[in-house]
Amino acid sequence: MRILIVNSFFFLKTGADKIAYETYKILKEEGQEVFYWAMNKGPYFEPDYEYSKYFTPYYFGIKDYLKNPIKYYYNYRALQDLNKFIDLIKPDVIHYHSFWCISTLVFKANSKIPKVLTHHDARCCPMITLMYRNKTFCNKMYCKNGNFWPCIINRCGKNNNIEESIRKALATYIIVKHQKNIDKFIVPSKALKEKLIEGNIGITEHNTIVINNSLCSDELNKDPNYNNKGFFLYIGRLSPEKGVHYLLEALKDLPREIKLKIAGTGSEENKLMKYALDNNLDNVEFLGFKNREEIKDLYQNCISTILPSNCFDNFPTTNLESFANGKPVIASNIGGIPEQVEHNITGLLFEPGNVEQLKECVFKYWNNPELVVEHGKNAREKAIYHYTPKRYYLELMNVYKEVIDERK
């Protein structure tokens, strides 16, 4: 089968980029003819990728947007470039991943070819985090039925920025409008499927398939480490919706011998560092950006990872990576997380934003090293039996075959 993967980037910028490229590699390893198309912004996953000359020009900088805001929503050049590439390679199916930075017009490419789209985020929400006014979880889902005015009225953009609220609301409206060109949708979690159906944006029980993301073979082949060097670990973006401020608040009231390492950067980094300094949290270490090898070493030596998200986290890759290394996860009971982390089996769950429960979880693992090992072994077993490339490949091929047969 000839398969075309379409994604905003051909390098690692977000979790969606990692999954798109892993999908590309898995399909190739299984003997399929796979092609990748993205924007011409590097450095690329494969520096000498033979088809990179067909990538479309990058257009997403703030200067470009101010110069020609219409192009932010309707980039006809991207559609033309994609159609030329399709004419060249003649794929049997197109699989879209992240498309935010290209143009939703690419959904209109060659109408004769079946199309599949993986939603990695809650696209029923213009900010994709389901955060009301960028502060609390939006339980009521104000943006429904293609009506995204609440995002503008409530200024849900970062720091309640009205410009971003308008821009993202309009972009989401256009995304929903063009989704009619997609044959099947894939989502990594049942929770996301339910939210997208609730949002009533064209996602239905019939046209949407749940396929959990997989780990790559390298991650699964690495031996787990059930020992540790006495620290907990947070890996990820430092932004309000990730809830790291709750984690620091919890650490403030715990014994100082309980250590935490924080790997990542983001808009909240300076604020979090100041909080740690003001509260004498000398047991908290901010590591900044770390490359993949450094992150693997952190996974191997931590007690457990902690994910205190306050937003709708769809299917966090860090939880799967933690499992692969034999480490349990302490995480918020929100979004798709409880589909990964089984409470008291592969980790511990707490109510989002509940600092007291979070403290109890950390203290429980700190005082029960045998329980950490038990949960770590359960987590590793789940990783090697459920999050495998082979399982992901077989489920993906079933979807491809289904859309091709339906078109016939």
Got the DSSP string for 115-128?
EEEE--S-TTSTTS
**Residue 197 phi/psi, 5° resolution?**
-65, -45
Q: Helix or strand or coil: residue 382?
A: helix
Predicted confidence at residue 225, as pLDDT, reads: 95
Q: Do domains 2-216+388-407 and 217-386 have the same CATH topology?
A: yes
Type of residue found at 335? G
> What pLDDT shows up at residue 344?
97
The pLDDT, as a whole number, for residue 65 is 67
Q: Which amino acid is residue 110, in one-letter code?
A: N
CATH architecture of 2-216+388-407: 3-Layer(aba) Sandwich (3.40)
Q: What is the pLDDT of residue 300?
A: 96
pLDDT for 61? 65
Delimit the domains of the chain by residue range: 2-216+388-407, 217-386
Task: Write down the CATH number for the domain with range 217-386.
Answer: 3.40.50.2000
pLDDT digits (tens, 9 = 90+) for 289-314: 998 889 999 999 999 999 999 999 99
- For position 59, what pLDDT does the model report? 73
Residue 221: CB atoms within 10 Å: 10
User: Rounded CA gap, 345 and 328, in Å?
Assistant: 9
The DSSP symbol for 260 reads E
In order, the DSSP letters of 322-338 are: HHHTT--EEEES-TTHH
* Residue 108, amino acid: K
Q: Which residue has the tokens 């109510």?
A: 351
The residue ranges of the chain whose pLDDT is under 70 are 60-62, 64-65
- State both tokens at 179: 């989704």
